[in-house]
């Protein structure tokens, strides 16, 4: 028995762990900056392990790691011939993990994925045709490999998002479409994030919302606005970094003043964001705020790790295996409350 995406969203909600680029890079299997998901071909076990770790922490959806695995990016690195093998390998790995769940639990949903192509040009129909072709081939492979649903994400042109959704819809599968407005707080073609989501709903998306670029503080106001103005399900997948009103996205996020070791490329994005991480409680609060207003397609994007996904699962009342290892400070040697902990050790806690 496996419930559909909509059934899950109408009940307790669904979690989609993301952030594969950053996490595979941190684990040593992917190049920062270039950000091509060749790991599906080169180290399939490493990618499978990451999916398994997210599943263990409560992710319901195994999203095939084809982000940036599109024809244009493969051309940039001179490996266009690997395009189809890479897509199929990533989809097969995701499918395998989605069906291989802990005993007695419901199989996960496998999601095919397309995203921002970075060649969309509002005033050039040829570029738009090319983008559509890239979407069509990737959606074709996703359907072929047995995707249960489709995710289109990180679009910063409204029209590119509409184009993606049109192609996705032709498959007949449930469609999630999340956008990623950049620092000017508007889509690059001048449409507001809210109007973009309203149009996506009209075009038939099952879930609309935001993913990536923004941390909890600069994403939540948009999510509230979208929730209040659409009838379909809403999705929210922030990055776990402390973006703020002056610096709404992680692209131009300053480090703290006292950092003496700035990155050679002059910005914290993408390799020196570590000190700007949100903690698990900030992510938890964001997820709770979303859940309270019936935003039930949740996840974490670039920067995500299983610890954060477990927080999302807890907010939804899910009990994934990783829940067993949630914090238990009561047995800490110095800050615990367990009666075996000696007073003279506890007393030293504030000086430690």
Residue 210: CB minimum distance to Zn ion, A? 11
Residue 14: CB minimum distance to Zn ion, A? 18
For Zn ion, which is the closer residue by CB, 191 or 302? Answer: 302
- Using CA atoms, how far apart are residues 234 and 223, in angstroms rounded to an integer? 8
Residue 212: CB minimum distance to Zn ion, A? 3
Rule CB under 5 A: choose which of 83, 119, 212, 253 binds Zn ion: 212
Mark the segment that binds Zn ion (CB under 5 A) among 87-95, 136-144, 196-204, 295-303: 295-303
Task: Check residue 301 for interaction with Zn ion (CB under 5 A).
Answer: yes
For Zn ion, which is the closer residue by CB, 74 or 212? Answer: 212
Residue 97: CB minimum distance to Zn ion, A? 20
3-state secondary structure of 333: coil
3-state secondary structure of 145: coil
| Phi, psi (deg, nearest 5) at residue 319 | -125, 65
For Zn ion, which is the closer residue by CB, 162 or 241? Answer: 241
- DSSP class per residue in 147-193: -SEEEEEEE-SHHHHHHHHHHHHTTTS-EEEEE---TTSS-TTS--H
Mark the segment that binds Zn ion (CB under 5 A) among 70-78, 141-149, 242-250, 297-305: 297-305
For Zn ion, which is the closer residue by CB, 127 or 185? Answer: 185
Residue 22: CB minimum distance to Zn ion, A? 7
Residue 86: CB minimum distance to Zn ion, A? 19
Residue 186: CB minimum distance to Zn ion, A? 19
Mark the segment that binds Zn ion (CB under 5 A) among 181-189, 207-215, 314-322, 339-347: 207-215
Footprint of Zn ion on residues 304-343 (CB under 5 A)?
none
> How many residues sit in the footprint of Zn ion (CB under 5 A)?
3
For Zn ion, which is the closer residue by CB, 212 or 276? Answer: 212
Total H helices, total E strands in the chain: 13, 8
- Using CA atoms, how far apart are residues 328 and 264, in angstroms rounded to an integer? 40
Mark the segment that binds Zn ion (CB under 5 A) among 168-176, 206-214, 220-228, 318-326: 206-214
**Could you tell me where the DSSP H helices lie in 250-336?**
280-292, 306-315
By the 10 Å C-beta count (0-12 exposed, 13-18 middle, 19+ buried), 143 is classed as: middle
Mark the segment that binds Zn ion (CB under 5 A) among 223-231, 285-293, 294-302, 326-334: 294-302
- Using CA atoms, how far apart are residues 159 and 121, in angstroms rounded to an integer? 10
Query: Considering all CA atoms of the chain, what is the largest pairwise distance in Å, rounded to the nearest integer?
Result: 74
Q: Where are the beta strands (DSSP E) in the chain?
A: 14-15, 61-63, 109-115, 149-155, 175-179, 207-211, 233-237, 297-298
Residue 348: CB minimum distance to Zn ion, A? 42
- Using CA atoms, how far apart are residues 66 and 196, in angstroms rounded to an integer? 24
Binding site for Zn ion (CB under 5 A): 212, 301-302
């Amino acid at each position: 028995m496996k419930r559909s995406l909509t059934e899950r969203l109408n009940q307790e909600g669904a979690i989609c762990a993301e952030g594969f680029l950053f996490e595979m890079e941190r684990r040593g299997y992917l190049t920062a900056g270039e950000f091509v998901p060749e790991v599906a071909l080169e180290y399939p076990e490493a990618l499978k392990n990451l999916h398994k770790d997210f599943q263990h922490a409560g992710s319901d959806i195994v999203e095939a790691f084809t982000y940036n695995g599109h024809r244009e990016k493969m051309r940039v690195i001179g490996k266009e011939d690997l395009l189809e093998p890479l897509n199929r390998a990533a989809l097969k790995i995701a499918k395998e993990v989605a069906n291989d769940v802990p005993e007695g639990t419901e199989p996960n949903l496998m999601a095919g994925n397309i995203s921002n192509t970075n060649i969309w040009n509002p005033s050039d129909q040829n570029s738009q045709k090319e983008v559509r072709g890239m979407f069509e081939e990737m959606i074709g492979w996703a359907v072929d490999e047995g995707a249960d649903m489709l995710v289109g994400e990180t679009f910063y042109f409204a029209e590119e998002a509409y184009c993606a959704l049109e192609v996705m819809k032709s498959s007949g599968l449930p469609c999630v479409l999340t956008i990623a407005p950049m620092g000017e707080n508007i889509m690059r073609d001048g449409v507001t994030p809210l109007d973009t989501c309203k149009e996506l709903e009209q075009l038939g998306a099952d879930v609309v919302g935001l993913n990536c670029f923004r941390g909890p503080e600069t994403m939540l106001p948009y999510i509230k606005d979208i929730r209040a103005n659409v009838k379909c399900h809403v999705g929210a997948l922030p990055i776990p970094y402390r973006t703020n009103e002056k610096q709404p996205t992680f692209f131009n996020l300053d480090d703290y003043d006292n950092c003496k070791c700035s990155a050679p490329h002059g910005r914290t994005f993408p390799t020196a964001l570590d000190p700007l991480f949100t903690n698990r409680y900030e992510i938890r609060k964001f997820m709770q705020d979303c859940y309270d207003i019936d935003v039930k397609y949740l996840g974490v994007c670039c920067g995500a790790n299983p610890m954060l996904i477990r927080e999302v699962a807890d907010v939804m009342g899910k009990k994934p295996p990783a829940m067993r290892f949630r914090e238990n400070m009561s047995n800490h040697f110095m800050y615990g409350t367990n009666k075996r902990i000696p007073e003279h050790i506890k007393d030293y806690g504030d000086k430690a």
